[in-house]
Structure 1
């Protein structure tokens, strides 16, 4: 698929009109070129042609769709469609340097924290056609930054609601950067409302620096028929620990890639995979061990 000059100009103009920094716009255009040159991962169940390249578009969702969330004392962030509309990060954590925000806000306001990490250290846009698509077409997401030595005692709840009242795919990205000797517990819940058959393309990048500890639980409760394309990956520094709990509770066709790079010595990762309706889901599970004395565990429970 070749993109003509007019399309590329309109594509770049749409990203610029969205107020994106030049480095991000340049990255989108570069990903388009990579999309032309790369291949999709092999799959027997997924129709990759559903990942369509168009000009980036943004639409506001009806705030009446906001899910009810129990006031349980946790830090809560709610992404309704493409926008973050609730964020109750506490003042003391904000003063300590913790950042939890919409990913496009982070691109504009925190480039020093995000530019070198976003699709550069953990997942790269040029891995395959799938990653290039995501980098080019990103339209939503959340950025979490935990400074060195900060222990976040409260659970961070991320609620992502795919707005299927609109005819618009959700291409969303969660990036977590935990600096050395920090710790955080994150629970992400993904749901939907509406009847349109939109795809869901969700990437999660976790960058755990030296001796950082991250517990990350993801509950995919999408109820619609739109196909689901996932890629979750962690990069672990020396002595870092990441515990994943992946819960695929959706009924729709799903491609999911779960990957970990144990780069630093003495790093540890554990992945627990709970799957409903496994027959229409396809998985890529990969662990790369670079460091010495690293540890990797994997447990699965199908028809959870």
Structure 2
């Protein structure tokens, strides 16, 4: 069955937005071609999830935003995520536009570029154009094509050769105006033997009507580069979230994904690494808590081309009330990727008789000389464990909470960012109503 895509804008409107932002001609041309393509393509396929039943039409319109004079003016919804006194490298996007950008003088002196993607396209074409939309491609689906056509604000991070950055760079994305388009695009290029940690948060304020977040991330780790990408999505129930995250690793490069899926609305995400280079590695850690009547689909993928490449994927999800989750892990080892090693684990814990979970580990192996394995489990809270803890004087609610934290701990404890560990702990407590 073909699903017809209704375009949220026409080419004249899109061209007018591009002119308003003083966009380079090559980027506007990319957008217009993608918009035309979007009307011809179908929705992306997420295993066992019918996203055509979701509200995917609420794109809103591009609206310019006023810049913040200082971080003291930051909206209350994101105030606890930023610390003005630390004066770190930070980008804030509110709805359709960037309202704050700061790069430390030390990093700027080393040649690091950390700015909004719209500015980078104008001022650093030679670094942006070769990579933009080359791993999350327009022709994949109508959603991907519409993202290419309509993305706004976003982040561009470039780390020069041999530059190692210790302190994390941060971005915060806020949607609090239902009439404004909200579709950030993140592009990270880590040059040879560089090292960087990037952290972002997606947050909703008070929304008068539904919002559709159509987001994309592209990461390129060149030879020997090390990239750690941490992201937390805590959008409210009025927001539908579809996000594609992709990384490409060259020889001996590495990507570490740390993903906290804490939304309250319907969510589908695909986090994928293409291990192109020999000796490259990918490590994905994903935790999720579903509540209410959420429909959730999380897919983690590793595609091995390089020899001696290694991937590790760990996903742990807790479902409460009537939430349902489809958790997919896909390891693909291509012909010629000798000595590759692909491991994955997916586990779902259900707290309610009405909650649902489905874990689907998939191994696709086209090479003989490799190592690969998977583990998956779906189950309810162990009543024997609860009774044991209650026999020691602990209440049922506290016993369930301890079991849940114990279930998530193997992933959370491996996150090498203490501040992110604490944030995820708070969000888990909030989603569990404790």
Fold similarity call, TM over 0.5: yes
Assess, with a 3 A threshold, how the Cα gap between structure 1 residues 126 and 81 changes in structure 2: closer, same or farther. Answer: same
Secondary structure of the equivalent of 1:87?
strand
Matches within 5 A, 1:79-118: 79-118=93-132
Which residue of the other structure, out of 259, 280, 284, is the alignment partner of 2:295? 280
Q: In structure 2, how many angstroms separate the alpha carbons of the residues matched to 1:75 and 1:15?
A: 27
Which residue of the other structure, out of 15, 19, 25, is the alignment partner of 2:28? 25
Q: In structure 1, how many angstroms separate the alpha carbons of the residues matched to 2:16 and 2:100?
A: 29
Q: In structure 2, how many angstroms separate the alpha carbons of the residues matched to 1:52 and 1:165?
A: 15
TM-score, structure 1 as length reference: 0.91
Which residue of the other structure, out of 226, 242, 267, is the alignment partner of 2:239? 226
Equivalent pair of 1:254/1:282 in contact (CA under 8 Å): yes
Matches within 5 A, 1:51-200: 51-52=56-57, 57-60=62-65, 64-66=73-75, 67-68=78-79, 69-70=82-83, 71-72=85-86, 74-120=88-134, 122-162=135-175, 164-196=176-208, 197-200=210-213
Q: Aligned pairs, how many?
A: 301
Equivalent pair of 2:66/2:99 in contact (CA under 8 Å): no
Assess, with a 3 A threshold, how the Cα gap between structure 1 residues 56 and 18 changes in structure 2: closer, same or farther. Answer: farther
RCO comparison, higher one (Cα < 8 Å, 6+): 1
Show structure 1 runs of 5+ residues with no match. Answer: none
Partner of 2:16: 13
Q: How big is the shift at 1:79?
A: 1.8
Equivalent pair of 1:203/1:231 in contact (CA under 8 Å): yes
Assess, with a 3 A threshold, how the Cα gap between structure 1 residues 98 and 178 changes in structure 2: closer, same or farther. Answer: same
Equivalent pair of 1:45/1:280 in contact (CA under 8 Å): no
Q: In structure 2, how many angstroms separate the alpha carbons of the residues matched to 1:194 and 1:53?
A: 16
TM-score, structure 2 as length reference: 0.65
Equivalent pair of 1:56/1:137 in contact (CA under 8 Å): no
Question: RMSD of the TM alignment (CA)?
Answer: 2.4
Q: In structure 1, how many angstroms separate the alpha carbons of the residues matched to 2:53 and 2:136?
A: 19
Partner of 1:293: 308
Q: Which has more radius of gyration?
A: 2
